[in-house]
Amino acid sequence: MAQFLKFAVLLLASVVMFSAPAMAFDEATEAPAAAAEVKAEGTGFINFTNTFGAGLIVIGAGLGISRLAAAGFESMARQPEVAGDIRGSMIIVAAMIEGAAVIGLIVCLIG
């Protein structure tokens, strides 16, 4: 339980730390109408924008690949004779996860 709590706090801290600079808004360089529009919408601590979604996609892909690698290494340790097959399958699945993450990033950053 303590390890999960440590992981959750680290994950929350990294999301807050890395998403805030990406969503920074400099009102002095923007047009007055754009600044008024942003103030009318309200600015909270975390704005769920495209950059926040992209950050979640990257975190999700990283967690998925790490779980894949952990399971693969554990199964290789239990059955060393099939390590080559497991390694090949891990590479293919990791590439599929990365492909889905790239598609998600493109959708977040364009949309």
DSSP 8-class letter at 39: H
| Beta carbons within 10 angstroms of residue 68's beta carbon | 17
CB 32 within 8 A of CB 91: no
pLDDT of residue 75: 94
Assigned fold of 48-111: F1FO ATP Synthase (1.20.20)
What are the 10-residue block averages of pLDDT along the chain, 111 residues in total? 70 63 55 51 65 88 94 94 94 95 89 70
Looking at residue 79, its pLDDT comes to 94
> What residue ranges do the domains of the chain occupy?
1-47, 48-111
Residue 40 pLDDT: 47
> Residues 76, 83: contact at Cβ < 8 Å?
yes
**What b-and-e string marks burial along 74-98, b requiring 16 or more CB atoms within 10 Å of the CB?**
eebeeeeeeeeebeeebeeebeebe
Q: How far apart are CA 17 and CA 35, in angstroms?
A: 24
Instruction: State the virtual CA torsion across 73, 79, 82, 83 in degrees, nearest 10.
Output: 30
Q: Which of 22, 94, 85, 104 is nearest to 63 (CA)?
A: 94
Q: What is the pLDDT of residue 55?
A: 87
